[in-house]
């Protein structure tokens, strides 16, 4: 008789615990379902949203200066800035990208039709160390009987041409995505004050009130450092050199400009492209004056990164170059031309946030 109340209370306790566990599982399940469903809906727009936020964060200091001169009219300042970028950056970029697409398509057509002609190799090529003899023989075979050489390497050529066509299509898509991201970035900049407050609230919720502001500051500095100091300068250098390639009529100017941009993001000197271009202009252009002017212009444009990069990176976080390189290559492999930019910025940001989390309780001297 005395044991029955004890059994009843134990059973009631077990029943209460089971109900709480069941209730917890139902709540967690509903939250997971909601998150996954929202993710599936938002998934097609993730790249666009990230790209627009990166642009907004990178350009916001300039937007603030314009807004102050316009009596703090944020919306009007954002509109003026977006329109200025459209006319000053997007049009030359579009010309280069369309040139890249046209050059790629024309090259593929010539390869497929067998009308591609290769000039005779220079005798000096054979004297190059290590690869001179093999390169001269391959060049000579392409000059004398390109058809046989194409037949011999047809499987590899098919893979390369397919990739080139894919990059050409990605270039056109990149223009449209950049345009949409720029318009969205204008909206974010117009509401920059409330957006910054929302970012701080989210960071404070995630990292705590004492770490939230530092987290926002680190994220902002990293995005601006990589976007302005690495990607921005690489794009500027590609635009300058690409414009010179187009003016002197170098074949495949768009492809060369894209290569310059890739090399710039990878921290490889643009001279790998500009010096052969100078040699080509001197050997094919009838006007020595034009060749000399192109050489001077190309040398100046090719070294603009040496002047601008220390200034831009000095204002933010100097992210490790291997991280940026891996992000650029991985982003391009997964997301095309736009992935090239997103990958480098996002991987650098992830690296900086991870290292800040690792050393958050240590003094700077311990991990500096």
Are 97 and 239 part of one and the same domain? no
Last residue of a domain, one of 190, 214, 239: 190
Are 201 and 94 part of one and the same domain? no
Does any domain span residue 6?
Answer: no
Residues near 173 by beta carbon (within 8 Å), at least 6 away in sequence:
336, 337, 338
Q: Look at residue 32 in the predicted model and tell me its pLDDT.
A: 92
- Spell 217-239 as b/e; 16+ CB within 10 A means b: ebbbbbbbbbbbbbbbbbbbbbb
Total number of domains in the chain: 2
Does any domain span residue 10?
Answer: no
Per-block average pLDDT, block size 10, for the chain (368 residues)? 54 71 86 91 86 85 86 85 78 66 69 67 67 74 70 70 65 72 87 84 79 80 77 82 84 76 76 83 78 87 76 57 76 71 80 78 45
**How many C-beta atoms surround the C-beta of residue 133 within 10 A?**
12
Does any domain span residue 334?
Answer: yes
CB 356 within 8 A of CB 221: no
Are 163 and 250 part of one and the same domain? no
Are 171 and 262 part of one and the same domain? no
Are 103 and 169 part of one and the same domain? yes
By C-alpha distance, which of 52, 44, 54, 46 is closest to 346?
54
Are 353 and 228 part of one and the same domain? yes
Q: Look at residue 124 in the predicted model and tell me its pLDDT.
A: 65
Domain that residue 171 falls in: 46-190
**pTM, rounded to two decimals:** 0.62
């Amino acid at each position: 008789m005395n044991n029955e109340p004890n059994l009843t209370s134990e059973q009631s306790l077990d029943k209460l615990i089971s109900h709480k566990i069941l209730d917890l599982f139902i709540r967690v399940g509903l939250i997971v379902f909601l998150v996954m469903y929202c993710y599936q809906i938002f998934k097609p727009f993730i790249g666009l949203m990230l790209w627009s936020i990166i642009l907004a964060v990178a350009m916001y200091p300039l937007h603030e200066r314009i807004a102050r001169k316009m009596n703090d009219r944020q919306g009007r300042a954002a509109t003026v800035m977006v329109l200025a970028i459209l006319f000053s950056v997007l049009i030359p970029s579009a010309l280069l990208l369309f040139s890249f697409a046209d050059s790629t398509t024309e090259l593929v057509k010539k390869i497929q039709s067998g009308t591609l002609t290769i000039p005779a190799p220079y005798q000096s090529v054979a004297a190059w160390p290590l690869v001179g003899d093999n390169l001269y023989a391959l060049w000579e075979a392409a000059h004398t009987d390109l058809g046989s050489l194409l037949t011999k390497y047809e499987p590899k050529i098919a893979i390369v041409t397919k990739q080139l066509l894919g990059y050409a299509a990605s270039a056109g898509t990149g223009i449209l995505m950049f345009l949409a991201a720029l318009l969205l970035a204008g909206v974010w900049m117009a509401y920059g004050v409330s957006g910054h407050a929302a970012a701080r609230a989210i960071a404070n919720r995630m990292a705590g009130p004492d770490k939230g502001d530092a987290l926002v500051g680190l994220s902002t500095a990293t995005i601006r450092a990589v976007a302005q100091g690495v990607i921005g300068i690489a794009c500027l250098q590609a635009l300058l050199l690409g414009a010179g390639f187009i003016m002197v009529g170098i074949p495949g100017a768009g492809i060369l400009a894209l290569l310059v941009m890739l090399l710039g993001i990878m921290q490889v000197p643009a001279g790998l492209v500009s010096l052969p271009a100078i040699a080509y202009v001197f050997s094919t252009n009838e006007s020595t004056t034009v060749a000399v002017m192109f050489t001077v212009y190309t040398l100046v444009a090719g070294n603009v990164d040496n002047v601008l990069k220390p200034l831009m990176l000095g204002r933010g976080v100097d992210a490790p170059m291997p991280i940026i390189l891996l992000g650029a290559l991985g982003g391009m492999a997964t997301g095309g031309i736009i992935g090239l930019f997103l990958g480098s910025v996002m991987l650098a940001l992830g690296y900086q946030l991870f290292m800040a989390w690792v050393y958050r309780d240590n003094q700077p001297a311990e991990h500096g």
